[in-house]
Structure formats: structure tokens, C-alpha cells
């Protein structure tokens, strides 16, 4: 089973920061899920695949300029478990399942 890590430096000018949240910008959960899905596509070599979110938990906010590490682990049946960390701090975790075609 394949496993990989991907680093994503959070751009300080990411458009999501405009409204999330004024005065204390944090990366929205949907952006973390979008990056996890993009990295899952890279891991499987199918960047245009459709995914279902099996579960997702958000532990700690991430902000502009942080480097997030996405660790992905492919499971039997094609599911992918992921964790997101900022250094030693857990940011999020979850699982993705390929959508039925």
C-alpha cells in the first residue's frame, strides 16, 4: 500500500482568508479537505478522480505562512487515510474513499 507526505506552505494571500476570519485568519476546513483530495489524486496518479469524504476531524487552526504536512496512507479498497500537521501539532485527520464511477 502506498504512503506519501506532501508539504503545503499556506499562502499568506490565500483568498479564503478574506472572510475567514477578519483579524485572525485561519485555513477553512474545506480548504484542508481540498488539499487532501488533490494530494490523494497525486498519490494514486489520478488527479481528476472523484472522492467521498469518509470522515474528517479538525483539531487545531492553521494560519497564513504555516507549512502543513499532509501524510496519506492508502488502505485496502482504495480508501486513503490522511493526517495534517503543522510541525508537531495535529491540525486535522480523516479518510477519503474513491467515489463510485
Q: Point out the residues that are catalytic.
A: 20
Residue 13, burial from CB neighbour count under 10 angstroms (0-12, 13-18, 19+): exposed
* Helix extents (H) in the chain: 29-44
Cβ contact 45:2 at 8 Å: no
Amino acid at each position: 500500500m502506498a504512503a506519501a507526505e506532501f508539504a503545503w506552505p499556506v499562502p499568506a494571500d490565500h483568498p479564503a482568508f478574506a472572510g475567514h476570519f477578519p483579524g485572525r485568519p485561519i485555513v477553512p476546513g474545506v480548504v484542508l479537505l481540498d488539499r487532501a483530495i488533490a494530494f490523494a489524486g497525486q498519490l494514486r496518479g489520478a488527479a481528476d478522480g472523484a472522492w467521498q469524504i469518509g470522515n474528517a476531524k479538525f483539531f487545531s487552526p492553521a494560519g497564513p505562512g504555516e507549512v502543513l504536512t499532509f501524510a496519506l496512507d492508502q488502505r485496502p479498497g482504495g480508501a486513503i487515510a490522511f493526517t495534517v500537521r503543522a510541525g508537531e501539532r495535529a491540525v486535522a485527520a480523516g479518510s477519503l474513499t474513491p467515489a463510485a464511477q
